Amino acid sequence: MLVSATEMLKKAKAGKYAVGQFNINNLEWTKSVLLTAQELKSPVILGVSEGAGKYMTGFKTVAAMVKAMDEELGITVPVALHLDHGTYEGCYKCIKAGFTSVMFDGSHYPIEENIEKTKELVAVSHALGLSIEAEVGSIGGEEDGVIGAGECADPDECKAIADLGVDMLAAGIGNIHGKYPENWAGLSFETLDAIQQKTGIMPLVLHGGTGIPEDMIKKAISLGVAKINVNTECQLSFADATRKYVEAGKDLEGKGFDPRKLLAPGAEAIKATVKEKMELFGSVGKAE
Ligand code: 13P
Query: What is the full per-residue pLDDT of the chain (288 aa) written as tens digits?
Result: 999 999 999 999 999 999 999 999 999 999 999 999 999 999 999 999 999 999 999 999 999 999 999 999 999 999 999 999 999 999 999 999 999 999 999 999 999 999 999 999 999 999 999 999 999 987 776 666 666 556 789 999 999 999 999 999 999 999 988 988 888 889 999 999 999 999 999 999 999 999 999 999 999 999 999 999 999 999 999 999 999 999 999 999 999 999 999 999 999 999 999 999 999 999 999 998
pLDDT at 271 (0 to 100) = 98
Q: How far is the CA of 75 from the centre of ligand 1 (A)?
A: 25
Hey, how many other C-beta atoms are within 10 angstroms of the C-beta on 112? 9
Superfamily of domain 6-281 in CATH is Aldolase class I (3.20.20.70)
**Residue nearest atom 1 in ligand 1 by C-alpha distance:** 208
pLDDT at 183 (0 to 100) = 85
Q: Which residues of 165-187 are buried (b: 16+ CB within 10 A; e: fewer)?
A: ebbbbbbbbbbbbeebeeeeeeb
pLDDT at 142 (0 to 100) = 64
Q: How far is the CA of 178 from the centre of ligand 1 (A)?
A: 6
pLDDT at 138 (0 to 100) = 72
Q: Would the CB of 133 count as within 6 Å of ligand 1?
A: no
Cα–Cα dist 143/140, whole Å: 9
Q: Would the CB of 50 count as within 6 Å of ligand 1?
A: no
CA distances from 80 to 27, 63, 186, 255 (A): 16, 11, 29, 36
Q: Would the CB of 232 count as within 6 Å of ligand 1?
A: yes
- Catalytically active residues, by annotation: 84
Cα–Cα dist 121/113, whole Å: 12
Q: Would the CB of 209 count as within 6 Å of ligand 1?
A: yes
Q: Residue 141's beta-bridge partner residues?
A: 148
Q: Would the CB of 207 count as within 6 Å of ligand 1?
A: yes
Domain limits, the chain: 6-281
Strand 101-104 versus strand 146-148 pairing type: unpaired
Alpha helices in the chain (DSSP H): 6-15, 27-40, 50-55, 59-72, 88-97, 111-127, 155-162, 189-199, 214-222, 232-247, 259-262, 264-281
Residues 6+ apart with CB under 8 A from 101: 4, 5, 45, 80, 81, 82, 83, 130, 131, 132, 133, 167
Strand 141-143 versus strand 146-148 pairing type: antiparallel
Q: How far is the CA of 255 from the centre of ligand 1 (A)?
A: 35
Cα–Cα dist 132/75, whole Å: 23
If one residue of 50, 143, 187 were mutated to test the ligand 1 pocket, choosing by the most ligand atoms within 8 A of its CB, it would be: 143
pLDDT at 147 (0 to 100) = 60
Sign of the C-alpha dihedral computed for residues 113, 146, 187 and 277 taken in this order: positive
CA distances from 35 to 39, 233, 272, 283 (A): 6, 18, 11, 15
